[in-house]
Structure 1
């Protein structure tokens, strides 16, 4: 069954609701930039999916809203053995599950749900392992290499055992792909002959439940009245509005127009050029913060001539990155040569970007056997991301730069979900990609996007496999001393820069315009953006 058909079926099965007025004090309307590629975040690596999942699902642990501190969630407490090989989680009691027209839970959340969730991803023989996408990228890259077992100690205790220490593990468990799913719901849908419904009609324990979804139009959530936060009086984890609506609006200018008119109360990913006008609007507040991000061109080293370091370096010298930052980021980005952003520890500030030098680029191309250049395709990212405000404009500037050294680049793009799918399959020659860190540890994006294992899984879009660099990443995950880990990450960054693994653009600042009646919205930099804890003044 195609994803588009399933999306339509989901909209019909949930019942598509009429979009409420943003003027209602009990409704929060958010202009978001794209549809999620999956409703089950276990299958996704994208914030569009994480933003949806953040409202519906919960994990054993979480990061504080707008910060990086790890806090309890479905686990109230945890202990880690001295050898770093076992994690014991004490689970929260009194946690209710959502319901939908296909399923009404008969029990509360317990250890069975945690065991089911992990075993589904870890065990190829699990009946649900191949249901849906079957590609558990985050789990496969971050958790599975050290995962041994998950076992139920009692109804409210689970023990996670590793084969080797994994220093970033606790941080990784905060991210949406590690969301806990209902074992009872899975069993009920399996019995009904529709096991895939657990992925297309999400049931979670989060502050909001999913009410309806129209692909490329709206996603509507309803506050979950039985959420555990109410019993403990935790307003920061509580849905403070009755309805939450994502209005999917790919055009940043339209998002701005809607937040300005009051059709939306929050607009994600604004155009940098609109920020001065937003800041001067008395009805808006523009929030700002540093993000941990990476934005780059991936030269697909599995395709010639990009397997030649001289060609990659030539294209780096041929690209006027400062001009791209001026025209595209418009004051919201800073050039970088370091694979770890300054928002995270182990950032290597000593590395400097290669300067714009077309003559040096021509010399390197000649040395590599391309005195007259060559033809290639250049993929432009089709949506606005925090790390890339305008992919098409950036691609046009790169195209013009490369033409000056004889490289003719044809710009291509696809719908966002298709772009990601084709990029994972390695169809591109040169592709524009990027990431934001989902948890506060340097390992995440480096392991998934730039390791040799990432080449095998498809998340390493460049196909760059440097054994010394991958070994440094692997060693850094086995030790707990942060200073020693930092040395390994710095070595990784040196090798990345030397090999021209990718052409880095800029480290970005995040901005979000919100209407002045919105209370306590915080830009969240790790994982999906939560909208619980946010209220709207009457």
Structure 2
């Protein structure tokens, strides 16, 4: 072979290498070609299931939000919970708010190639409504009042007059109905995929109509989604691969971002925020606040079945100290079990004071002059509403000790933690909630009504007067009348004290400066279809 031939061959190889380099994504989406870009989102905990109907946790919805679509959607571009069309192009509300008729998108297919149509919508709702025996569709009774056959179920029927029309007939008007339909757990799955995979649906397969298709799941490590090339929103998504990476420790996650291992993350330690704002390689995001962190009591367990004990413990939590130590001022003390940003928040309710002397007196009146011994459960992973759960637990342990309440702390991994609380296995626990739909019903009814016991009511708290008020508030279409009802509800909850409301947090996220189009949603999850990397 001549020197000229060798030179020519080397030149060809170098040219091919340059072309291939231009087409590859790199680990953090460095390609200039939108077709090859990858975005890696760092988070503190893994998903529990990829079937949105069977989960209640934000880490699952963060992923499923991008695989599935709902009938209607929130206005994510404006970081709002206002309702927009999605799989339904339009709708009509008739019969005094008891009939909703939806016109559906035409010609859309699920990611497995089967058609999306009205029959698919009916199949999904029938699946959820008939879930009482399995009890696995926890969100459904939390938002719609029960399963099929339960007196409280607000949905009377879901029918498909034709392939492009779905009709919901309700037993009574439901003010939050449209907002409920936009929630992640009520995304529409492929009926064919559910039948094909059976118990493994949500484990080895997840099939929707969303911007990304499920590719792989390495437990407690990564979930990889790839671009749905047939996505019905033209020109979207803008990146080809979306990866959710678990890095439990907040500081380690931030280091991974700075080192280029991930592109975007949540769970920023509040103490790190000030330093990040001066880094021109990064951009800081604040999620619109719509959350609460709380200390809950299982009111069916002694001594937490005694209201004076619960009131005493409300007076033994130093909320201001917790905010100063673990939120760097990026939170405010919580008073009511819903955030101030929502319709009907009652500003007239006075918080329980931090008063250890009065707390001891109440304990004595309750029959515990020397206190008692109990267990406090907390999650091992940080959450938006509680970035340092163990430290908060230890703060509570310390102040409770001053009134004679001896606390043992037990930490549990996130997915197991949800299961334990759902089954009522924790006498006292730290938890939180990021609102799903911007309606007060999604806090008061979803978390504290008797209908939600066995799903999101981890305190197993039941109050018939509260239940009647919350059902009336659901059925009322006048905002002014709803506010009056929610005022009554918050007074009852303040006096009964099934929780110690801890803080309303201002969650911070941080990403590379090259990211465009990312807007955190107040609901805690958002689609990534419009997100891009420069």
TM-score of the aligned structures, taking structure 2 as reference length = 0.90
Mapped partners of 1:210, 1:510: distance in 2: 28
Q: Shift of the alpha carbon at 1:289?
A: 3.7
Q: 4+ residue runs of structure 1 moved beyond 3 angstroms?
A: none
11, 24, 30: which one aligns with 2:30: 24
Deviation per CA, 1:112-137, whole angstroms, max 9, x where unpaired?
Answer: 1101100111135xxxx86xx65111
480, 491, 494: which one aligns with 1:494: 491
Contact residue 193 and residue 206 of structure 2 kept, 8 A = no
Other-structure match for 1:49: 60
Q: Secondary structure at the match of 1:413?
A: strand
* Structure 2: 5+ residue stretches without partners: 1-23, 32-36, 147-152
429, 435, 438: which one aligns with 1:437: 435
Contact residue 23 and residue 262 of structure 1 kept, 8 A = no
Other-structure match for 2:74: 63
Q: Shift of the alpha carbon at 1:466?
A: 2.1
Contact residue 21 and residue 263 of structure 1 kept, 8 A = yes
Q: Secondary structure at the match of 2:66?
A: helix
Aligned ranges 1:518-529 → 2 under 5 Å: 518-526=515-523, 528-529=525-526
Mapped partners of 2:350, 2:271: distance in 1: 27
357, 365, 376: which one aligns with 2:363: 365
Deviation per CA, 1:442-471, whole angstroms, max 9, x where unpaired?
Answer: 10121121112223x242112222222221
Q: Secondary structure at the match of 1:95?
A: coil
Mapped partners of 2:191, 2:381: distance in 1: 35
After superposition, the Cα gap between the structure-2 partners of 1:449 and 1:530, relative to the gap in structure 1 and judged at 3 Å, is: same
Deviation per CA, 1:80-110, whole angstroms, max 9, x where unpaired?
Answer: 11411111110001212113xxxxx3x4211
Q: Shift of the alpha carbon at 1:365?
A: 1.1
Please state if 1:376 is matched with 2:374. yes
Contact residue 139 and residue 455 of structure 2 kept, 8 A = no
Q: Secondary structure at the match of 1:79?
A: strand
Mapped partners of 2:488, 2:123: distance in 1: 39
Q: Shift of the alpha carbon at 1:516?
A: 0.4
Other-structure match for 1:121: 128
Mapped partners of 2:173, 2:367: distance in 1: 46
TM-score of the aligned structures, taking structure 1 as reference length = 0.89
Deviation per CA, 1:219-260, whole angstroms, max 9, x where unpaired?
Answer: 111011110101xxxx5xx21101111111111111111111
* Structure 1: 5+ residue stretches without partners: 1-17, 100-104
Q: Shift of the alpha carbon at 1:332?
A: 1.0
Other-structure match for 1:180: 188
Contact residue 43 and residue 177 of structure 1 kept, 8 A = yes
Q: Shift of the alpha carbon at 1:24?
A: 2.6
Q: Which has the larger radius of gyration?
A: 2
Mapped partners of 1:36, 1:46: distance in 2: 8
Aligned ranges 1:273-352 → 2 under 5 Å: 273-352=271-350
Other-structure match for 2:407: 409
Q: Secondary structure at the match of 1:314?
A: helix
Equivalent pairs, count: 496
Other-structure match for 1:356: 354
189, 196, 199: which one aligns with 1:196: 199
RMSD: 1.6
168, 172, 192: which one aligns with 1:164: 172
Contact residue 340 and residue 348 of structure 1 kept, 8 A = no
Mapped partners of 1:335, 1:506: distance in 2: 5
Q: Secondary structure at the match of 2:198?
A: coil
Deviation per CA, 1:193-231, whole angstroms, max 9, x where unpaired?
Answer: x4224332001110000111101000111011110101x
Please state if 1:470 is matched with 2:470. no
Q: Shift of the alpha carbon at 1:23?
A: 4.3
Deviation per CA, 1:309-354, whole angstroms, max 9, x where unpaired?
Answer: 1111111111111111111211111012122211111111122321
Contact residue 312 and residue 360 of structure 2 kept, 8 A = yes
Other-structure match for 1:94: 107
After superposition, the Cα gap between the structure-2 partners of 1:454 and 1:108, relative to the gap in structure 1 and judged at 3 Å, is: closer
Mapped partners of 1:49, 1:229: distance in 2: 23
Mapped partners of 1:262, 1:273: distance in 2: 21
Contact residue 519 and residue 534 of structure 1 kept, 8 A = yes
Q: Secondary structure at the match of 1:186?
A: helix
Other-structure match for 1:141: 142
Q: Secondary structure at the match of 1:484?
A: helix
Other-structure match for 2:89: 76
